[in-house]
Structure 1
Amino acid sequence: MIDFTVAICTYNGEKRVPDVLDRLKQQIDTEDINWEIIVIDNNSNDNTAKVIKEYQNNWNFSNPIKYYLETRQGLAYARRCAIKNCQSELIGFLDDDNLPSQNWVKEAYIFGKQHPNAGAYGGQIHGLFEVEPPPGFERIARYFALIKGDKTYCYNEKYKDTRKKMYPPGAGIVIRKKAWLESVPEEPLLPQTNEDLEMLSQIFNQGWEIWFNHLMEIEHFIPQSRFEPEYLKKFFRQNGLCRYQVRMFNYSNWQKPFITILYFINDLKKIIVFYIKNKKNLKKDVVCMGEMELLRHILMSPFSY
């Protein structure tokens, strides 16, 4: 019987996955945990498969490494492959740029056993930057899956008002297999960059608890390219255009027309206020530019849908 699964989802990760596996070699206090590592190769066209094979051949640890190929492109499909093939009830998801702390497996497993109603839970995510982030980056850090905190809390209780509801980032998220199977459909509804929101909204709406466990910590590597203006525009454009669908997860069909109008008015107000406050910085401040792109496409999201 496997107690815990670490699922590494990767695309063209031949240079990144080794760092994640090396961190997993260093896990401490796991002697009483029967855990496995599965690598989901999301249709890579580099040497990812070869690298994993080499690790399997030289792996001198009791927890095995298993390899699966998922040819359907997208993190949502890679996660579905992991859920299908894992042997445990608790699955800790790591991207190929997520480096877990030495006690991550232990803390993730213990928390899941202590909180049987937790359908999903995440922890602290610290940025590991290739270059210094631009000024004001802290305003958009959460969109880069970065979060800190010194207390554990349940999102269901902290964000009771669905209009203000937040979720932990998908990097380093632990999912209870039963919660996934009861909540998440076989085919994702939203495009990439929003699969985390979709997954957690569905689990939340089925009555499962979602938690932040401050004892779980990972580092998230962020390359210089993520701060390029064109990348930020595309990134926030995609996030914005999916906002309507994410919001509507929380409402019944009869409510949606009225809620859509209220959101539209509020979103338009936000754009006007933001533009007046930041119009001088929109062309030279990449963070402001990204925020404006997000607000514009949130406003457009009902029409995109």
Structure 2
Amino acid sequence: MSMTTPPGWYPDPGTPVLERWWDGTAWTGHTRAAGQPAVPPSPPTVPLGPVAPRPRPRGRGPVVAVAAAAAVLVTALVAGVIVLNGDDGEAKADAAPGSATATPTASRAQSTAPAPPPSAGDDPNLLVDQLNGITLPVLPGWEKAESRIDGLPTMQTKETYDCPGDSGAFCHHAWVNTRTPSRTDLRTAEALAKHDIADAADAAFGDDAVGRRRYGGIVSHREVKSGAVVVAGRTGYLVRWSVRTGAGPGGQVQSLAFPSSVGSESMVLIRFAFDAGRGAPPLTVLDRITSGIRALGGQESGGVGSSLAPPAP
């Protein structure tokens, strides 16, 4: 007899420290920290085995003895019916609830949970944002960031150099990260991208998280590109600035916003920062990464906007 896996929290296929909600037919975009109870605890069960005899009241010995014998006989018959499967005499694999070999409901649900799909997070060629349900291509010469103060999914160029505004710090020629925006009142991709671009520029070429001015601060900027674009099958919007800094040649920064394909389809925000110094990747790489963004699991729907050229093989 086949069993359908009930809805519940199960280990996340891509992030072991999280649990993901299984709605009975498919994985959803809802996650939580692992280790919380999977189901409410089951109420205690009453054993079906013989009950220890109570002290007999005086003067009722024969009656109590007969009643106790009848109770033991009935209990044995019931246990026998449960153990036997129909009339073929074979023992069932599942024992009766409350017996020593019974399997708790929660354990059974976990044992029949669907096998997790292969984890995209283990692919060195993909940057995976499990929360927002997207992947980005990690191109040659790039790597996933091992650690960042903000903890966001990030990739960056492998090559580093002395920051032009702070020789004691190391800068990467380019980096990209993904996030869920904190502003919930901006409900369109265009409004979100236009609002975020200034913050993205500060994060890329302004003071860093510990107050260092790695590029000497932002002197000026100008918009070089903006408009609707199809990202992972959804209609998004991008804004790109060219930034001049107090030290070094500056670079370009881009904010890209689009609705997620999972969960409540909340907005996804991706920031790109490319410097303009020697050794920096060409801006065509920025477009290749943007065009290579995919919905996790291939759940894409049509969008309206420009389609960037797919990445070269």
The answer to whether TM tops 0.5 is no
Larger helix percent: 1
Larger strand percent: 2
| Bigger-Rg structure (1/2) | 2
TM-score, normalised to structure 2's length? 0.21
TM-score, normalised to structure 1's length? 0.22
State the structure with bigger RCO (CA 8 A, min sep 6), 1 or 2.
1
